[in-house]
Structure 1
Amino acid sequence: MSMFDKIKAKLKGHESQAQKGIDKGGDMLDDKTGGKYQRQVDTAQDKMGDEFGTGGTGEDRPPHS
């Protein structure tokens, strides 16, 4: 069983909390880098959301400039 499979199993039923954590982590990275890597961070957040079954829609994130 891969690491991602183990994480998915533990997050099952807690998708909204996982998405909040993904968003909070991405926001922290944006703050630390001054938004320099915002597009890359947003892409990573979306992929993590897709991977962990949380959707990763990015609806609450500001549009790219």
Structure 2
Amino acid sequence: MNLFDKAKETLGKHPDQADQGVDKAAEAAKQRFGDHADKIDQGSDKVKDYLHNQGGGQQEAPPQ
């Protein structure tokens, strides 16, 4: 098992923590590039969708 597979497995077991990490990264990016906040939000939403679909669609998105 390579590092990427381990990361995917860990994210699959802890989707709420993964979402928190994406949100934290998005906030940091918005502080630096505030003019592009809408694009940052769109990107973070796509990352969350991707992470939730990695489990074969078995994971549900947490309530927003």
The answer to whether the superposition gives a TM-score over 0.5 is yes
Percent identity among equivalent residues?
Answer: 24
User: 2-side partners of 1:9 and 1:42: how far apart?
Assistant: 25
Amino acid at match of 1:22: V
Q: Show structure 1 runs of 4+ deviating over 4 A.
A: none
User: 1-side partners of 2:32 and 2:38: how far apart?
Assistant: 14
CA RMSD of aligned residues (A): 2.4
Match of 1:28 in 2: 28
Q: Which runs of 5+ in 2 are unaligned?
A: 53-59
User: 2-side partners of 1:46 and 1:16: how far apart?
Assistant: 14
User: 1-side partners of 2:8 and 2:46: how far apart?
Assistant: 14
